[in-house]
């Protein structure tokens, strides 16, 4: 009796050209998704938005962005339908100093009606007015951490 040994089949590994092709495919898909998401956000800002006033409530210059890079963070709020919405935006390092931003200053703000998370604040268009958030009972924050930082 002779026993036949089964041949072990080795799986072929894809060639290095195929690996590079797969990597390029994944990165191109990610790029396409990010690009079209940015385009849709811009379109919403242009077509379906309203103008209001954003009031700077706190500044965090030179805060950490990662291990080595830094950014400036501006906390601001705006009022819509007797509700105060608190938001934040990032600037490049030394952006607060370069633009001359101070707390309680008001700037022109453009917000999308359907999504208050999409906005554009123009720090070059300062508006001389005073809006006090304490006279409004409803305050909406991004997160509880955001609330703790501001209060």
Strands (E), 11-148: 49-64, 70-80, 83-91, 106-112, 119-127, 138-140
**Per-domain boundaries in the chain:** 15-47, 49-150
Regarding predicted confidence, which is higher, 12 or 86?
Answer: 86
Q: Give residue 67's pLDDT.
A: 81
Tokens 């309680």 correspond to 104
Q: How far apart are CA 95 and CA 123, in angstroms?
A: 10
Q: Which pLDDT band holds residue 33 (cuts at 50, 70, 90)?
A: very high
| Spatial CB neighbours of 122, under 8 Å, sequence gap ≥ 6 | 107, 108, 109, 110
Quote the DSSP letter at residue 133.
Answer: G
pLDDT tens string 70-105: 888 889 998 888 888 888 888 888 888 888 888 889
């Amino acid at each position: 009796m002779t026993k036949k040994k089964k041949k072990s089949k080795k799986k072929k590994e894809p060639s290095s050209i195929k690996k590079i092709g797969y990597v390029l495919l994944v990165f191109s898909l990610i790029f396409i998704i990010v690009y079209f998401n940015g385009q849709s956000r811009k379109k919403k800002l242009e077509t379906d938005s309203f103008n209001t006033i954003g009031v700077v409530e706190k500044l965090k210059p030179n805060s950490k962005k990662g291990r080595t890079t830094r950014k400036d963070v501006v906390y601001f709020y705006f009022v819509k339908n007797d509700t105060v919405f608190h938001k934040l935006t990032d600037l490049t390092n030394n952006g607060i100093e370069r633009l001359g931003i101070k707390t309680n200053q008001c700037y022109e703000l453009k917000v999308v009606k359907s999504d208050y998370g999409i906005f554009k604040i123009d720090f070059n268009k300062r508006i001389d007015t005073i809006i006090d958030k304490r006279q409004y009972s409803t305050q909406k924050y991004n997160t509880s951490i955001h609330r703790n930082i501001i209060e």
